[in-house]
Amino acid sequence: MKNKIKVLVTGGAGYVGSATVRHLLAKNYEVYVIDNLMQGGEGASSFIGYPGYYFIKGDINDEKLLSELTKKVDYVVHLAAIVGEGACKKDPDLTKKTNIEATKKIINLSSENNIKRIIFFSTCSSYGVQDINVMATENSPLNPVSLYAESKIFMEEYLSKNYDSNLSYTILRPSTVHGISPRMRFDLIVNHFCKDAIANNELEIFGGELWRPLMWVGEVGRVVDAIFSAELGLIKNQVFNLGNTNANKKKKEVAEIIKEKFLPEIKLKYTGKDEDLRSYRVDFSKLETTLNFKLEKSLEDAIKELIFSLKNKIYSDPNNSKYKN
C-alpha cells in the first residue's frame, strides 16, 4: 500500500485552514495541524478522531515545535496569519510577529528539514486599488493599502530570495473566499451580505461599484491537492492568482444575485463609499492553463448553502464575535 503523503497545515483550525484540512483528509493525506486557537476550536474539533488527523495546539513562533513538526512531514501549507485589514490594524506588532517573523521561521525550517514542497498563501489584496479596466496578472504592479497586504508581499519577496534549491515553493494569491466552513466567519463580503439580508430584510451596500474576485472556501483544498499532485516543473517557484477570471464581481452584483435568486422580498439600499477602497479585477488564466483549475462551486450555489444554514439557524447567533476575525 502506498504511504500517505504527510502534510503540515499551519493555521489549520481557521476559516480557510479547516476547509482545506477537510479536503486533504478526504483525499487520503495524513494531516498535521498547528494552530493556537485564537479564533476558537471549532475548526479543530470537527476532525478529532478522523484517521490521519493530528492536531497540535501551539504557536508558529515556537521554533522548537516547528522544527519537530517539519521533520515529520513531506509538505507544508502555510496559512497561519493575522488575517484582514481590521485584525492587522488592531495589533500591528502581533501582525509583524506572526505574518513576518514566524513565517521566516517556517520557511527556514522547511529548508533545513528537507521539506519537498511548501505552499505560501499570500493575498489578492496585494493588488489594492487598480485601474479596473486592466485585469491584474501575477506580473502586475502591487499596490497594497493595508498592513495585511504589505506583510504578505514582504514574505513573498523573502521566500523568493531565501529558499533552498531543493525546496519547491508555490505562492498563491487567493480570491476573497465565502461559504460554509468548520470554523465559520460572517465578516466576509458574501457571508455577511447573506447574514444581513436575512436578519434585516434589507441589505445596505457600501461602495457597490467596487470589484472583488470571489471564490468558495472549499476551492483552497482542491488547489493545494492539485499543486501537490502536479509535476514539479509546473509549480516550482511559481506565483499563481487563485480563482477563475469569470468570478470577478462588483459588490452590487453580489447583492443583486441574493435578491433576484433567493430573497426577492429584501430591499437593497446603496449608500455612500466603503472605507475599504480596494477595487481590483484579477486574471486567473495562469492557474487555469497550468493546472486546468476551474472553480467547482458557483457563487449562486454557495449563497444557496449560506441562506439554507442561516434560515435553519445552524448558527444560533451569527453576529457573535467568534464568527469574525
Q: What is the pLDDT of residue 132?
A: 77
- Which CATH number applies to 6-177+214-244? 3.40.50.720
Q: What percent of the chain has pLDDT over 70?
A: 98
Give CA separation, 155 vs 78, 103, 117, in Å.
12, 7, 17
Which residues, including other chains, have CB under 8 Å from residue 12's CB and lie 6 or more apart? 18, 20, 21, 31, 33, 34, 35, 43, 44, 55, 77, 79
- Residue 279 pLDDT: 82
- Comparing CA positions, the residue from 254, 1, 17 lying closest to residue 9 is 17
Residue-wise pLDDT for 146-179, tens only, equals: 899 999 999 999 999 887 788 999 999 999 999 9
pLDDT mean across residues, the chain: 94
Express each pLDDT in 79-137 by its tens digit: 999 998 888 999 999 999 999 999 999 999 999 999 999 999 999 988 876 777 889 99
Q: Is it the case that residue 1 has pLDDT exceeding 50?
A: no
| Mean pLDDT (whole number) for 10-39 | 97
Mean local confidence (pLDDT), 318-324: 95
Domains in the chain: boundaries: 6-177+214-244, 180-213+246-323
Q: Average pLDDT, stretch 21-35? A: 98
What predicted TM-score, i.e. pTM, was given to this entire model? 0.95
pLDDT for the residue numbered 277: 66
Question: What are the pLDDT digits (tens) for 221-237?
Answer: 999 999 999 999 999 99
Q: From 3.30.565.10, 3.40.630.30, 3.30.70.20, 3.90.25.10, which CATH number describes the 180-213+246-323 domain?
A: 3.90.25.10
Q: Would the CATH topology of 6-177+214-244 be identical to that of 180-213+246-323?
A: no
